[in-house]
C-alpha cells in the first residue's frame, strides 16, 4: 500500500477516504502506515478507518499515534479516526483475541488528540480507553490546559485504570481536574479510578 501511495496510484495527495476496517492488519502494516503518515502521504484524508484489526499490538498503535503527533502539518482535514473494535465485545479484564488493542494505548490516543495536529477531528474510536501511570498523567495535563479538541463529537469517553501489581497514583489527575478552569471536559463521560492510589490532599479536592 505505501509504495502505491508514493506512486500516486491511490489518488496521490488527493486521497480523502481510506477504510482498512477488519483487514487483518499486522504490526508491520500499521508501522508502514505510520511511515506513510510521516512522509505526508495521507495529509488530505478526512476519514481513516483502521478498526477491527485485532492482531495489532499496543506498541504498534503507539508508534502510529506518535507519527500523527510528529507530522509537521498535521491532518488539517481529518474528521474521523477509527482505531477501535466496533463489533467485537470486550470481556472484563484482558482483551480477547481478535479485538483492537488500541484502547490500551489511551495515553497515546489522548496525546495525539491534544497535539494540535487533528484540529477538525469530530469522531474517534475507541472511546473506552485504559490508562497506565503515564496515560493518567497525559489526561491530567490535557484537562488542566483544556486541550481536548473542541469539535469532538464522539460518544463520551470512558477512561479506566490498568489493573497491575502496582496501583496507579491518581493524585495528579484529581488535582488537575480541581485546578483547571473548566474541570472535566464534557467529552469525558466516565472516569473510573477503581484500583488507583490516592493521597490525602487529592481526597480533600473531591
Choose among 157, 147, 140: nearest CA to 205: 140
**pLDDT tens sequence across 27-50:** 999 999 999 999 988 999 999 999
* Dihedral (CA of 200, 204, 205, 206) sign: positive
CA 12/CA 79 separation, integer angstroms: 19
Quote the pLDDT of residue 101: 61
Q: Tell me the per-residue pLDDT of 59-87, one tens digit each, with 9 for 90 and over.
A: 899 899 999 999 988 899 999 999 886 32
Q: All 3 cell numbers of residue 31?
A: 508501522
Q: How far apart are CA 132 and CA 114, in angstroms?
A: 18
Average of per-residue pLDDT values in the chain: 82
Amino acid at each position: 500500500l505505501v509504495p502505491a501511495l508514493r506512486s500516486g496510484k491511490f489518488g496521490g495527495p488527493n486521497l480523502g477516504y481510506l477504510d482498512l476496517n477488519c483487514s487483518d492488519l499486522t504490526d508491520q502494516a500499521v508501522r508502514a502506515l505510520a511511515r506513510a503518515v510521516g512522509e505526508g502521504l495521507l495529509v488530505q484524508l478526512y476519514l481513516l478507518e483502521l478498526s477491527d484489526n485485532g492482531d495489532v499490538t499496543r506498541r504498534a498503535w503507539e508508534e502510529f499515534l506518535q507519527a500523527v503527533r510528529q507530522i509537521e502539518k498535521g491532518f488539517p482535514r481529518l474528521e474521523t479516526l477509527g482505531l477501535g473494535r466496533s463489533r467485537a465485545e470486550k470481556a472484563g479484564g484482558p482483551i480477547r483475541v481478535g479485538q483492537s488493542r488500541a484502547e490500551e494505548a489511551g495515553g497515546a490516543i489522548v496525546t495525539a488528540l491534544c497535539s494540535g495536529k487533528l484540529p477538525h477531528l469530530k469522531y474517534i474510536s475507541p472511546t473506552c480507553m485504559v490508562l497506565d501511570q503515564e496515560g493518567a498523567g497525559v489526561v491530567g495535563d490535557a484537562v488542566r490546559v483544556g486541550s481536548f479538541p473542541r469539535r469532538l463529537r464522539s460518544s463520551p469517553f470512558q477512561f479506566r485504570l490498568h489493573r497491575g501489581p502496582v496501583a496507579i497514583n491518581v493524585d495528579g489527575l484529581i488535582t488537575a481536574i480541581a485546578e483547571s478552569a473548566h474541570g472535566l471536559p464534557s467529552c469525558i463521560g466516565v472516569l473510573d479510578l477503581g484500583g488507583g492510589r490516592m493521597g490525602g490532599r487529592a481526597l480533600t479536592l473531591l
